[in-house]
Amino acid sequence: MSRSILPLVVFALMVGLLWHGLSLDPKKVPSPLIDKQAPSFSLAMLEDPSRKLSTGDLAGQVWVLNVWASWCVSCRAEHEVITALAGRNLVTVVGLNYKDDPADAAKWLQKFGNPYAVSVIDRDGRVGMDWGVYGVPETFVIGADGLIRYKHIGPVTHESLERKIMPKLEELLG
Amino acid sequence: MRVLLLMLCLGVWVVPAQAAIEAYQFDSPQMETDYNRLIDELRCLVCQNQNLAGSDAELARDLRRETYEMLRQGKSPEQVVEFMVARYGDFVLYRPQFKPTTYLLWLGPFLLMLGVLYLLVRRLRKPDETVEVDADALTKAKQLLENNESNQ
pLDDT, chain B, mean? 85
pLDDT of B23 reads: 81
Q: Same domain, yes or no, for B74 and B117?
A: no
Is residue B124 predicted with pLDDT exceeding 80? yes
Q: Same domain, yes or no, for B80 and B117?
A: no
- A47-94 pLDDT, tens digit per residue, is 999 999 999 999 999 999 999 999 999 999 999 999 999 999 999 999
Question: Per-residue pLDDT averaged across B56-63, rounded?
Answer: 91
Q: Same domain, yes or no, for B102 and B89?
A: no
SS3 A95: strand
Backbone angles phi, psi at A157, to 5 degrees: -100, 165
The residue of B81, B87, B123 whose CB has the most chain A CBs within 10 angstroms, and thus the best one to mutate to test that interface, is B87
User: Containing domain of residue B113, as a range?
Assistant: 98-124
A66 by Cβ neighbours in 10 Å (0-12 / 13-18 / 19+) ranks as buried
Q: Which has the higher per-residue pLDDT, A11 or B130?
A: A11
Angle among Cα B68, A95, A77 to the nearest 5 degrees reads: 100
Class of domain A29-173: alpha beta
pLDDT bin (cut points 50, 70, 90) of residue B135 is confident
ipTM exceeding the 0.90 mark? no
Calculate what percentage of chain A has a pLDDT beyond 70. Answer: 98
Of B47, B54, B40, B55, the closest CA to residue B94 belongs to B40
Q: Same domain, yes or no, for B46 and B61?
A: yes
Is residue B112 predicted with pLDDT exceeding 50? yes
Residue B118 lies in a domain: yes
Q: Same domain, yes or no, for B86 and B59?
A: yes
Q: With contact defined as beta carbons under 8 Å apart, do A100 and A124 qualify?
A: no
> How many domains in chain B?
2
Cβ–Cβ gap A134/B85 under 8 Å: no
pLDDT of B123 reads: 87
Q: Which has the higher per-residue pLDDT, A146 or B16?
A: A146
Q: Same domain, yes or no, for B31 and B78?
A: yes
Angle among Cα A65, B81, A99 to the nearest 5 degrees reads: 35
DSSP state of A29: P
Is residue B15 predicted with pLDDT exceeding 60? no
Q: Nearest-CA residue of chain A relative to B83?
A: A130
pLDDT of B1 reads: 63
Residue B72 lies in a domain: yes
- A126-141 pLDDT, tens digit per residue, is 999 999 999 889 999 9
Number of neighbouring beta carbons within 10 Å of residue A48 = 9
The string of DSSP codes covering B119-130 is HHHHHHHSPPPP
Q: Same domain, yes or no, for B88 and B117?
A: no
Question: CB-CB: which of A26, A32, A99 is closest to B85?
Answer: A32
Residues paired with A122 in a beta bridge: A98
Say if pTM beats, i.e. exceeds, 0.90: no
pLDDT of B107 reads: 94
Is residue B47 predicted with pLDDT exceeding 60? yes
- A35-60 pLDDT, tens digit per residue, is 999 999 999 999 999 999 999 999 99
Cβ–Cβ gap A131/B87 under 8 Å: yes
Question: Per-residue pLDDT averaged across B27-32, rounded?
Answer: 92
- Contact list in B for residue A33 (CB cut-off 8 A) is 87
Q: Same domain, yes or no, for B77 and B112?
A: no
Q: Same domain, yes or no, for B28 and B75?
A: yes
Question: Per-residue pLDDT averaged across B127-135, rounded?
Answer: 75
Cβ–Cβ gap A29/B59 under 8 Å: no
Q: Same domain, yes or no, for B75 and B30?
A: yes
Q: Which has the higher per-residue pLDDT, B127 or A5?
A: A5
Is residue B13 predicted with pLDDT exceeding 90? no
Residue B151 lies in a domain: no
Alpha carbon of B95: minimum distance to chain A alpha carbons (Å): 16
pLDDT of B18 reads: 47
Give the B-side interface with A, CB within 8 Å: 45-46, 48, 58-59, 62-63, 66, 85-91
- Name the helix (H) or strand (E) containing B67: helix B58-72
pLDDT bin (cut points 50, 70, 90) of residue B39 is very high
